[in-house]
Structures are given as C-alpha cells and as structure tokens.
Amino acid sequence: MSASLKETIKQKARQLGFTLAGVTSSLPPSHYDMFESWLNAGMHGEMNYLTEDRNRGRRADPRKILPECKSILMLGIPYAPASNGQIASYALGDDYHDVLPKKLQTLMDFIEHQVGCPVPNRYYTDTGPVLERELAQRAGLGWIGKNTCLINPTTGSTFFLAEILLGIELEPDLPFRTDHCGTCTRCIDACPTKCILPDRTLDARRCISYLTIELKDDIPEDLRPLMNDWVFGCDICQQVCPWNRFSLTEDTAFQAIIPLPVRTSDLSLSPQEFNRRFKNSPIKRTKRRGYLRNLAVAAGNCGSLADLPILEKALEDTESMVREHAQWAIEQIQKRENEQQASDRHK
C-alpha cells in the first residue's frame, strides 16, 4: 500500500510540474552539527532568522515541527536556466513563494483524497525551518555540489525545492550517494567574491545574493567593485556548472517576464512605481531602497558618463542609503573617466 500510494503521489506531483519527487524519513538531519558550526562562525551575516532559538531546535528534528511526521515528500520544480546577469534567473518570473504553496495545497488535497481522511501535514518552500537540501539528497533528488546547490544529473541545479511533512508512512527512496562534482572547481574559481568555501559551505557575508537581497544596510565598499552589474541575486556559480548545460523549464509561471538589461533609469522609480512593477516578483523582497542601492553599485561598476545625471538626481533621494551608494557610483564613474583620459593622453 505504501509503495503504490507513493507512486500515485509522485505521478500527481509531476502533473503539477514537480519534475523531481522523492520520499525520506522523518529522522533528524545528520548535517545539523555542521549547520550549527556555520552559524557559530557568523557565516550567516545578518540573517538573524536563522539563529532564532525556536527554529534552531526545529531544524534539528522535523518532528519538532510536526510531531505526527512519519515521512517527508521532497519536491523540485525547474525554473528558467541561469541568466546572463543583473537579475538571478529564478527571480525573472513570478515569485515562487506565491506560486508553489498553491501547488502544494493541491497536492495535499489529492493525498488526503487518496487516503480517505485528513492527514497531518506542514508544507514549505524556502520558508520553513528545515535543512531542505540534505532532506532532498536523502530523498534521492541529487547531491549537494561544491557551490552548495543541490544538483540533479538530469535537471542541473536550476530548480526550486519544496517539502511536505506528512503524518503517514511512505516507503523512503534511496538517498543520492554519489558525488558528480569530481575534481571540477569551476564554481569556486568563478566566484568573484570568493565566498564559496572548500567544505561545501559558503560565507554568506561575501555572497552577491546575500549582499543584494538579505543585507539591509550599506554594502561594504571593498565588495562593491566585485559585484559587477548584479542587482538582485547572482547566477555565476550556476552559469559555469557543467550540469546546467541542459536545464529546462516547463512551468510558465517561471518564464522570464522582467526585461533585461535593467536600466539605470530605474533609480527614478517612486515607491508606488516600484511596488506596481514588482508586485508579483521576488524582487519586492529587497524593497525599493535595496533595489536602488544595488542599481547604484551596478552603475558604479559598469556605468558611463551618460548615467551621471540620474545618479546625481538620486543624491536627493529620501533614503540615505540610496544617496550614499549613488555618491560612490558617481565617484567610480568619474575615476574611470579620468583614468581613460590620462591613458589616451599617453598614447
């Protein structure tokens, strides 16, 4: 009964767009101590929600989230392959926080219909206190790569993870035990801020995704020049990964709807315009002040004299953080222009 029910659930999950589906037990994650060490080393930066006492304990044992938990259904749904820059590809479409819970509820309704009674459950997609990459590896979805992403040999790493904690017993799938990174270090070598560490963790404080999304204050000046033109997230370690050569997306919700390149003119967005433009996008997470901060850094790294007027206008912004980063960008552009002029004079 458990095996046939599991396959029926997986088939329904695939119909909903979850190309990856596997089951693991409710046993505590074996890598929790490594997670604690990472936190104690301060690698999480200002992501203080990771250190909340209540959630730290819950990450140590799924049954502290759902006492009735007997099985965990791990799911993966692809998004468009890694972009060429500026905005991480996962954020070019609709916000997965809005899209996936509806699919998970539909799947949960289906499971209860198959069982014939209510089933205790909790489901999350990057929102719950679970170490979902380890659980996904345990459920056979892939291995944790050197860039810390979960990698599947047929899907690559460009997919969202989601999980449903279930109060019913399902036969666990075999864990994904092989490591297909081999001697490859492309992700480590390509990371401009060198945030990827040798033990398959990363120093979030140096990660461009953290700097452009999670960090709510000024971006450290020594890291700004390394960010190139990224304004929300970063795909570099996925762009260079050989396993992403054949990644595909099928769900139209995650097809790119934000046109690239993003223009420096976005620095003139009012709060109302920002909210309207990014209403259904993950970009709303960084809020207007963070988005404009990031735009200013990108302009400082890749802009030209043509960008100075709008940067100068940003010096009048109501947000002090936007003003500070706009001033830095102006100085960077002027410095490059002066160096270019000096170089031209010596030719």
Q: Catalytic amino acids?
A: 126
Distance from C-alpha of 28 to C-alpha of 18, rounded to nearest angstrom: 24
Distance from C-alpha of 48 to C-alpha of 39, rounded to nearest angstrom: 10
Give SS3 for 150. Answer: strand
Distance from C-alpha of 110 to C-alpha of 68, rounded to nearest angstrom: 19
Stated as kind and residue range, the H or E segment containing 210 is: none
Q: How far is CA 164 from CA 92, 126, 128, 134, 151, in A?
A: 26, 12, 10, 14, 20
Give SS3 for 196. Answer: strand
Structure tokens at 314: 């940003």
Q: Strand 150-151 vs strand 143-144: parallel, antiparallel, or unpaired? A: antiparallel
CB 220 within 8 A of CB 195: no
Q: Which residue has the tokens 């056979």?
A: 140
Query: Residue 281 region, left (φ>0) first, then alpha (ψ -120 to 50), else beta?
Result: beta
Distance from C-alpha of 202 to C-alpha of 329, rounded to nearest angstrom: 28
Beta-carbon-side half-sphere exposure of residue 246 (alpha carbons within 13 Å): 5
